[in-house]
Structure 1
Amino acid sequence: MQHKWFFTGRYNGYSLPNFQKDLLSGLVVGVIAIPLGMAFAIASGVKPEYGIYTTIIAGILISLFGGSKYQIGGPTGAFIPILFGIVMTYGYENLLIAGFFAGIILFLMGIFRLGSLIKFIPRPVTIGFTSGIAVIIFVGQIANFLGLTGVEKHENFLSNFREIIIHIHSINFYSVLTAGICLIAVLLTPKLFPKVPGPLIGLLFSTVIASIFYPNQVATIGSTFGEIPSTLPHFEVPEMTFERVQQLIGPAFVIALLGGIESLLSAVVADGMTNSKHNSNRELVGQGIANMITPLFGGIPATGAIARTATNIKNGAVSPLSGIIHGIVVLIVLVLLAPYASSIPLASMAPILMVVAWNMSERHVFYHVLKTKTEDSFVLVVTFLLTVFVNLTVAVEVGLLLAVVLFTKRMSDIMVTLKALPNPNNKHEKMESHMVTDVRDCPQISIYNVEGPLFFGAAQAFEQSIMNTINYKPRVLLLRMGKVPFMDTTGESYLSSIIKDFSKHGVVLISGIKPQPKSLLVKTGLFEYIGEERFFDHTGNALDFGLEHLNKDKCLGCKHFAFRECTVFSGEYEHI
């Protein structure tokens, strides 16, 4: 059954031409993934080979066990600020533990079918933190682009920016030249040779020029991090103590949440490009397995990479085999060419990451949401600023909280409770609020149109609307609740308060109640307290019941004529 769950349908009708397509796309994506894997690792504060290990192991496992046929997994730019912060605060070994626990969390999210919950994260929050991450990555590469020396890395964005300003005098023009060559190659290659990966050409071209024309003038991977080993990573279980687990469970949740969002966003992009449908829960399981196993080989957290997944599709991928091939390609390159990678200048890595940051910045969507000048714009700006100036954890927490509070406010604004009377000019005598005036308002029957969800955000306003207008103690209170789609226990509590207070001197009737609110009233006992006979499907029947319970003496001489029956009631006793 498990075998069926993982593999059924993924290779139906698979053929040799399909394999050739997967082989080509896997080769292309594998070649692109090498410089990106190293660049993301360096930017995250760890050695470049750890990015390569992640690309190999997570890339293969995500394709094997994930829920999208086209997903390419590996280290991504989105993780850079979080991973760098964890490395700075807790160290590399603790990053591995945090990554391992993030894998467990993702795996459990998939097993318990929480994949669909990711879609409840509001777009302004995801755009806000994605744009914030892009700014952090871009600014973080300025020092390498300019070849600044003596720059200390900090977790805080402003401190890093301050380091750039302080050390701007140490600019290395050889670094600027190297970075400039790489940047031009990265930007021009897709236009001149669409099938050729720009990052790789930029890296090779700038590295060759730097090595031939001005060797030893710019910092390289080798001079900064040591030689990249051409051996396979060793299996090692990090030492996990209870204190470490307590310390790292928070960062692990952040990694898992971001990994889940990124991978499912990437899978959605792949669906849009291929008219396919991914399995979100299986994708989370695949991401979980990859992130549990990768740290055991020294790899950093991984997720679905949108740009690499799109490249995979554009190059003709037809199955997850292309993702597996991409991992194998990186493995072969590691074994055969690792020593050569040590001579890559850091200045060549900088423009690659800057272009990644520019592409992930969501600038068009950011501006579009911003110009709406709505609550969403506020959530977007707050999330963005907190991501840049505080950290991603706080940004997501505050962004989500703000979105929930503003949504609650919007929902409570929808809630309307207005007094109503039948419109005699309407064929069906529809209950309308504008019919209630100073000269036309029944002193004995108060009818209210209740519209919108009756929940904690609107319950108090609902109670006040009714209690403020029934001070004169009418005989009958009729609540028309056909437009209340939902009620929570807070709403029920306020409704109960009104009903119990009113029942001391009058009769409460309810018409048109929906199944969910009715079910809640049954569970709380309020339905039984009111009495089943006082619930009506139609307002007309409720009104007939209410008219029978009037004090007819009070109707004598009444000039309001709120109902058809009033003409009879007001002169009913004249002949006596």
Structure 2
Amino acid sequence: MKGIGRYAGYRLSDLRKDLISGLIVGIIAIPLGMAFAIASGVKPEYGLYTTIIAGILISLLGGSKFQIGGPTGAFIPILFAIVMQYGYENLLIAGMMAGVMLILMGVFKLGALIKFIPRPVTIGFTAGIAVLIFSGQIVNVLGLKGVTKHEDFYSNMKEIGMHIGTINIYSLLTAGVCLAVLLLVPKFAPKVPASLLGLILSTLIATIFFEGQVATIGSSFGAIPANLPQFHLPEVTWERIMKLLQPAFVIAMLGGIESLLSAVVADGMTGSRHNSNRELIGQGIANVVTPLFGGIPATGAIARTATNIKSGAVSPLSGVIHGVVVLLVLILFAPYASLIPLASMAPVLMLVAWNMSERKSFAHVLRTKTGDSLVLLLTFLLTVFTSLTTAVEVGLILAVILFVKRMSEMLKVAKVLPDPDHKHEKVMAHMVREGHDCPQISLYTIEGPLFFGAADMFEKSVMDSLSERPGMLLLRMGKVPFMDTTGEANLASLIKHFERSGGMVLLSGIQEQPLEMLKRTGLLERINPAHRFEHTGEAINYALQHLNQDKCKGCKHFAFRECAALSSAGTEPEQQQKWKRVAAKVTS
């Protein structure tokens, strides 16, 4: 059969590939869905509902052919904090609000903007989330009793320390069995879903040998219902909306980042191209609908998407099949899932945390010992010890400040003169020295972006060098790629100050963007067209023609090649011709 769009060229043989990949990913998604839900502070079945509904909708409506959506580890600390602070009902509302935000981001084509978040920030908060997930499972691995869960890392670690004496050896053994399977199966049987096998084997051992000795899903959360999720519309009020704006925004931003990162990974593995704005809209619709059936926020899952591709997926149909597989398992095997020990789920989450920690990238950025290292470390520590919201806000602000600082350092203002030893009389900074500088013409090269972070330095650099009040100021702008309104204002101030003193300002080599800025602000109209030049040679030629020749007589600076003739007051026509010939050689 043939299709259109993402199904273009789809054949019956491709359906078999999608069925296999969907089955494999669906089996992998089952333990992860329950584990992520439990770690987020909600019942395990809500994770399965999310996997089913969001997984199907994201595949159908998203912008990537291979994206697998569902609950992810990245959301765990955020969702847990929301549940602790606002409750489960409000988590559903926050998820729906986040969905609306994602839809709006896609509609207004903001998908590309999310990609501009600095990598040190994403690595920092991802590593921080990994630490929170890993540490959050210590209680279940050790089987500690009487532990109260808190939102912050420090309080949770303190609780573990206070109850360390309640270690349950049976929980440790159960977790050990599951962990051994997770580590060994990929090496010896890479096609077998290790997480599912680990859960089954450790559950069987715990049920047969340690019955009643370890906490299970059933004993902690009740039996998982073997039926379809029920439609439920949360009570949405204006007061709740205002209260949940911030957590909803955090969910939306993280969901957008995670989904687009996952789509980029899929593109790299397949050579395809995703539609980022469509992806955001698809994610948004999924997050609006899923809470209506009790599901938690979802996004693109990088590991499951990669598994989908490696398993031979051809189209979004594999993602739909993965959701159907989870639905069938829920209906047929839900009672058995209640027997799974929490100690069996913990190693699965710990391994997820280890894999998502980006430890190699983390170490690589730290080794650079640059501003990025500081952004990374600060974002990481704030994620662990405060909140993801604070971490991302501070990380972004610091990254912007460091970026502005770096950009401002790129701006260089140098006083220059022609070098007679150079083939084309190229202007060079080393030619300006005491006793060799034209008293009437000051020639400057401006190199780098002229923006708010560097504009003041530009004006000050030129003004400080004009104490001898030359009659003409020539600014070489050919290496200024960008100018903002602050840079334009400082340039306008410099021109106004210089012309008020009776001087003349010449500009050469203005690039397209700065020229457009000068047009928009009206400064270009205030500059005499005769004072704007394409090339530096033309500007120098003009300047030499407007010198005060009386001041040239007896001058010993000899800044320009024709200065010898001017100093000795040679015949004017000959001088004029020579100025033109030499100036024409000087290039920008």
Specify if TM > 0.5. Answer: yes
Q: In structure 2, what is the equivalent of residue 169 of structure 1?
A: 165
Report deviation, 1:387.
0.6
In structure 2, which of residues 369, 378, 383 is the aligned counterpart of residue 373 of structure 1?
A: 369
Matches within 5 A, 1:465-480: 465-480=461-476
Q: Which amino acid aligns with 1:21?
A: K
Superposed counterparts of 1:416-427, under 5 Å: 416-427=412-423
Deviates more, 1:272-281 or 1:170-179: 272-281
Matches within 5 A, 1:448-463: 448-463=444-459
The answer to whether 1:192 aligns with 2:164 is: no
Query: What does 1:44-193 correspond to in 2, within 5 Å?
Result: 44-193=40-189
1:572, distance to aligned residue in structure 2 (A): 1.1
Q: 2:559 aligns with which of 553, 556, 562?
A: 562
Q: Which residue of 2 aligns with 1:275?
A: 271
Residues 21 and 318, structure 1, Cα contact 8 Å, conserved in 2 = yes
Structure-2 separation of matches of 1:11 and 1:479: 58
Q: Output the CA distance in 1 between the equivalents of 2:250 and 2:528.
A: 50
Residue from 12, 16, 19 that aligns with 1:23: 19
Aligned-residue RMSD, C-alpha: 1.2
| Number of matched pairs | 569
Identity of aligned residues (%): 69
Do structure 1's residue 546 and structure 2's residue 543 form an aligned pair? yes
The answer for unaligned runs of 5 or more in structure 1 is 1-6
Q: Does 1:206 align with 2:202?
A: yes
Whether 2:538 is the aligned partner of 1:533: answer no
1:495 aligns with 2:491: yes
Aligned residue among 280, 291, 297 for 1:295: 291
Secondary structure of the corresponding residue to residue 10 of structure 1: helix
* 1:451 partner amino acid: E
Letter in 2 for 1:254: V
Corresponding letter in the other structure for 2:399? A
Match of 2:262 among 240, 259, 266: 266
Q: Which amino acid aligns with 1:321?
A: L
Task: Say which is worse superposed, 533-542 or 448-457, in terms of deviation.
Answer: 533-542
| SS of residue in 2 equivalent to 1:470 | coil
How far residue 374 of structure 1 moved from its aligned partner, in angstroms, is 1.0
Amino acid at match of 2:293: F
Structure 2: give runs of 5+ residues left out of the alignment.
Answer: 573-588
- 1:84-130 Cα deviation digits (max 9, x unpaired): 11111111111111110111111111111111112211111111110
State the distance in 2 between where 1:95 and 1:549 align. 74
The alignment partner of 2:6 has SS state of coil
**Counterpart AA for 1:168:** I
CA contact (8 A) 1:511 1:539 kept: yes
Q: For residue 455 of structure 1, report the CA deviation from its aligned partner.
A: 0.2
1:574 positional shift: 10
- Work out whether 1:311 is the aligned partner of 2:307: yes
Which deviates more from structure 2 when the two are superposed, residues 190-199 or residues 415-424? 190-199
**Cα deviation digits, residues 41-94 of structure 1 (max 9, x gap):** 010111111101000000000000111111110000000011111111111111
Instruction: List per-residue Cα deviations over 1:301-330 (Å, max 9, x = no partner).
Output: 000001111111111111111100000000
* 1:234 aligned counterpart, secondary structure: coil
Q: In 2, Cα distance between the equivalents of 1:266 and 1:311?
A: 12
**Correspondence 1:305-344 to 2 at 5 A:** 305-344=301-340
In the alignment, is residue 41 of structure 1 matched against residue 37 of structure 2? Answer: yes
Q: Is the 8 A contact 1:556 1:573 kept in 2?
A: no
- Give, in whole Å, the separation in 1 of the partners of 2:510 and 2:8: 51
- Give the secondary structure class of the aligned counterpart of 1:503: helix
Partners in 1 of 2:468 and 2:436 — Cα distance?
15
SS in 1 for 2:465: coil
Provide the secondary structure at the position in 2 that maps to 1:479: strand
Q: Which residue of 2 aligns with 1:516?
A: 513
2:7 is paired with a residue of what secondary structure?
Answer: coil
Tell me the secondary structure at the aligned position of residue 443 of structure 2: strand
Counterpart amino acid of residue 388 in structure 1: V
Q: 1:17 Cα shift? A: 2.0
Structure 1 CA distance, aligned partners of 2:45 and 2:528?
73
The residue identity in structure 1 corresponding to 2:175 is: A
CA drift of 1:431 comes to: 1.0
Residue by residue over 1:121-144, the C-alpha shift from the partner in whole angstroms, topping out at 9 and shown as x without a partner, is: 111111111010000000000000
Q: Could you list the runs of 4 or more consecutive aligned residues of structure 1 that deviate by over 2 angstroms after TM superposition?
A: none
For residues 450 and 290 of structure 1, what CA distance do their matches in structure 2 show? 52
